[in-house]
């Protein structure tokens, strides 16, 4: 099938360069040959002994039956001419279709249309025809994205780079759900916040592309290249991890890509997940020590035992209903975070900064709170049975009648004696 397609392509290319006069004369010549090779005509000449007459220029001896046969062949000639015409004009038709496809894409971009079926079909056509989509821009910038770089000041330039590529985009991406871009060349394309849910990107080349914040949920990424691509906060859904080996996943994650299940990775001292949406993510045996996840949404996230969050920054982080039981949070900064309903059973919270943290309904049973700062924390309805609280500071922390607190020996403690304030739920 591929051979036939290549052959047709070569024929089209050859016919495109042939002048029309040559095509016309060739058609006439071919049918003239067919005409003089007609059996009836030739037998007639033989019988009458005039075979040489047709080759002379004697007008009187000309057999007008040739004209009749010639006219009979006009229909076949017209069909042959039409076929040649079709192949000859095929490249021009293709160029017109390519132009129209690009026009659809440009119009949708100019109109800032996020969802466009016509654009999806146009992109699919271009990719199928092998047209390069390198450098295509499908992201609508916001004012926050536009940063003026002072070329005379290197510091300003670095800050601008950080704003452009170090934070999640604030503009709008296009909806490319279910699109088929197999084998597409998308190098250096701007696809920030694009939605590729259930799309086919098999063997597509996204090298050096900007896909920050893009959604690759349930996407076919078999053989897809992300070499040097900007992937900050790009979301790779369940199942997509199977398209990458551990080294590739580690590389993508180190640049801020989000996989819904991370296992055995070293992300210590990393800052790539600040302000990231990590809802319902699973972290198994991941080293996040001294990392910065401030402002991230980690509600319902699962931190399986073996994950290390010691000395990490989780300032103003959302951890509602997160599973953190048995996790190492030694010296972790959780100031201003929301831990309502979180499971912190048997967690190591020694010297943790929990001042001002919302721990309403949080399960802290068996946790180590020695040296922890819980000033002004909200501990209403919290369970603190069997906790270790040596040198912990509970000053002005709120508690309710449903709050339970006891030391490691399960001796009930008086919250007021710890400096806490009663506030009914």
Q: Which residues contact 149 (CB under 8 A, 6 or more apart)?
A: 156, 157, 160
The fold of 112-258 is Pectate Lyase C-like (2.160.20)
Which uninterrupted H or E stretch holds 123? Answer: helix 117-128
- pTM beyond 0.75: the answer is no
- Altogether, the residues listed in the chain come to a count of 425
Q: Cα separation of 369 and 227, whole Å?
A: 44
Q: Cα separation of 231 and 282, whole Å?
A: 19
Kindly state the average pLDDT of the residues 315-343: 96
* pLDDT interval class at 53 (50, 70, 90): very low
Q: Shortest CA distance to 296 belongs to which of 279, 276, 315?
A: 276
Domain boundaries, the chain: 2-91, 112-258, 260-425
Contact 234, 209 (CB under 8 A): no
SS3 193: coil
Dig out the tokens for 123 from the structure. 């992109």
- Range of weakest confidence among 21-35, 100-114, 116-130: 21-35
Give me the residues paired with residue 353 across strands. 333, 373
φ, ψ dihedrals at 402, nearest 5°: -90, -5
Percent of the chain with pLDDT over 70: 72
Q: What is the DSSP letter of 347?
A: -
* pLDDT interval class at 275 (50, 70, 90): confident
- Range of weakest confidence among 178-187, 207-216, 246-255, 368-377: 246-255
**Which tens digit of pLDDT belongs to each residue from 285-320?**
999 999 999 999 999 999 987 899 999 999 999 999
**112-258 and 260-425 agree in CATH topology:** yes
**Which tens digit of pLDDT belongs to each residue from 346-357?**
999 999 999 999
SS3 195: strand
- CATH class assigned to 260-425: mainly beta
Give Cα separations from 370 to 42, 330, 349, 388, 403 (angstroms). Answer: 114, 10, 7, 6, 19
- Range of weakest confidence among 62-71, 156-165, 388-397: 156-165
């Amino acid at each position: 099938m591929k051979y036939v397609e290549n052959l047709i392509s070569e024929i089209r290319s050859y016919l495109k360069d042939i002048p029309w006069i040559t095509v016309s004369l060739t058609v006439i010549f071919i049918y003239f040959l067919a005409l003089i090779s007609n059996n009836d005509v030739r037998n007639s000449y033989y019988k009458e002994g005039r075979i040489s007459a047709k080759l002379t220029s004697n007008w009187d001896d000309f057999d007008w039956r040739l004209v009749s046969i010639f006219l009979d062949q006009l229909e076949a000639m017209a069909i042959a001419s039409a076929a040649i015409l079709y192949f000859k004009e095929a490249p021009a038709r293709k160029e017109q279709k390519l132009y129209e496809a690009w026009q659809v894409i440009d119009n949708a971009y100019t109109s800032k249309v996020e969802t466009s079926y016509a654009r999806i079909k146009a992109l699919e056509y271009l990719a199928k025809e092998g047209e390069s989509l390198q450098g295509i821009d499908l992201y609508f910038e916001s004012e926050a994205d536009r940063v003026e770089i002072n070329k005379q000041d290197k510091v300003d330039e670095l800050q601008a780079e950080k704003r452009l590529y170090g934070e999640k985009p604030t503009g709008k991406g296009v909806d490319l759900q279910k699109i088929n871009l197999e084998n597409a060349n998308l190098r250096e394309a701007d696809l920030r916040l694009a939605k590729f849910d259930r799309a086919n990107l098999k063997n597509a080349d996204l090298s050096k592309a900007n896909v920050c914040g893009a959604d690759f949920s349930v996407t076919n990424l078999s053989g897809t290249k992300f070499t040097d691509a900007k992937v900050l906060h790009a979301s790779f859904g369940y199942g997509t991890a199977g398209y990458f080996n551990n080294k590739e996943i580690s590389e993508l994650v180190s640049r801020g890509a989000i996989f819904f299940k991370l296992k055995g990775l070293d992300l210590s001292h990393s800052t790539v997940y600040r302000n990231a949406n990590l809802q319902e993510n699973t972290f198994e045996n991941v080293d996040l020590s001294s990392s910065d996840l401030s402002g991230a949404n980690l509600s319902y996230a699962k931190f399986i035992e073996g994950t290390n969050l010691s000395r990490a920054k989780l300032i103003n982080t959302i951890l509602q209903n997160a599973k953190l039981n048995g996790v190492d949070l030694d010296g972790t900064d959780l100031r201003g975070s929301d831990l309502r309903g979180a499971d912190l059973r048997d967690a190591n919270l020694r010297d943790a900064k929990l001042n001002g943290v919302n721990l309403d309904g949080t399960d802290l049973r068996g946790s180590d709170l020695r040296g922890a700062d819980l000033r002004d924390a909200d501990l209403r309805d919290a369970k603190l049975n069997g906790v270790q609280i040596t040198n912990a500071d509970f000053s002005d922390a709120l508690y309710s009648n449903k709050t339970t607190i006891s030391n490691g020996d399960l001796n009930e403690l008086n919250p007021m004696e710890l400096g806490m304030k009663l506030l009914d739920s």
